[in-house]
Structure 1
Amino acid sequence: MSDDPDWQLSPDSDEEFPPDPERRALLREVAEDVRGDSSESKQLSAVLYRVSDLYDPEEDTSPEEIYLNVRRIMQIKERGGLRRE
């Protein structure tokens, strides 16, 4: 997809994630448990919730989308947040 070497760390797109209500519910429960007041716990909670979407037939996402979204969040955090110019 890209010459970006970080892209090589992304998950394999051929993987299939059949609907799994129990796994989805467990991931969402853990996401709620780890969500706290810190930005890190909120980020981890959001990532877990997005991963749970892989097992939700109503959601349209992929491992790549989740990976790229998380990577973007980390880049923004590293820069100190969103800056409007």
Structure 2
Amino acid sequence: MSDDGRLDGDANADANPNPDADADSDEVDWEMAPDSDADFPADPERVAFLRDIADDIYGESSESRQVSAILYRVSDLYDPDGDTSPEEIYLNVRHIMDIKAQGGIDR
């Protein structure tokens, strides 16, 4: 034990630095969005606005492409021909972020 009362070395190496992480992974993701059953009436102006922004920010970086894709998916909520939901968008974005955090899909 060190002078400040902490364990020395690897004595605590197996301890989970985030004990709530395991509990969170057991939760259903879409339940985090209480308004996920909200209606999204067709709004062609909003669709065009979101897609214009998506086109403007699309660039060379993977991050700008990801944000652009997310905006397109959100615009689909307001497109009468779009077939998506807030749950699907959230789960898709979370999947992308998980892959990015792991260092890529090929890892």
Q: When the two structures are superposed, what TM-score results if normalisation uses the length of structure 1?
A: 0.86
Higher helix share: 1
Indicate yes or no: 2:55 matched with 1:32.
Answer: yes
Moved more, 3-12 or 44-53: 3-12
Matched residues, percent identical? Answer: 67
Larger Rg over CA atoms: 2
Stretches of structure 2 that go unaligned for 5 or more consecutive residues are 1-24
By relative contact order (CA 8 Å, sep 6+), the higher-ranking structure is: 1
Paired residue for 2:94, among 48, 71, 80?
A: 71
Paired with 2:104 and 2:72, the residues of 1 have a C-alpha distance of: 22
Q: Determine the structure 1 residue equivalent to 2:40.
A: 17
TM-score (norm 2): 0.70
Q: Distance in 1 between matches of 2:34 and 2:83?
A: 16
- Indicate if the aligned counterparts of 2:29 and 2:91 stay in contact, CA closer than 8 A: no
User: RMSD across aligned C-alpha pairs, in angstroms?
Assistant: 2.0
Gaps of 5+ in 1: none
Equivalent of 2:77 in 50, 54, 58: 54
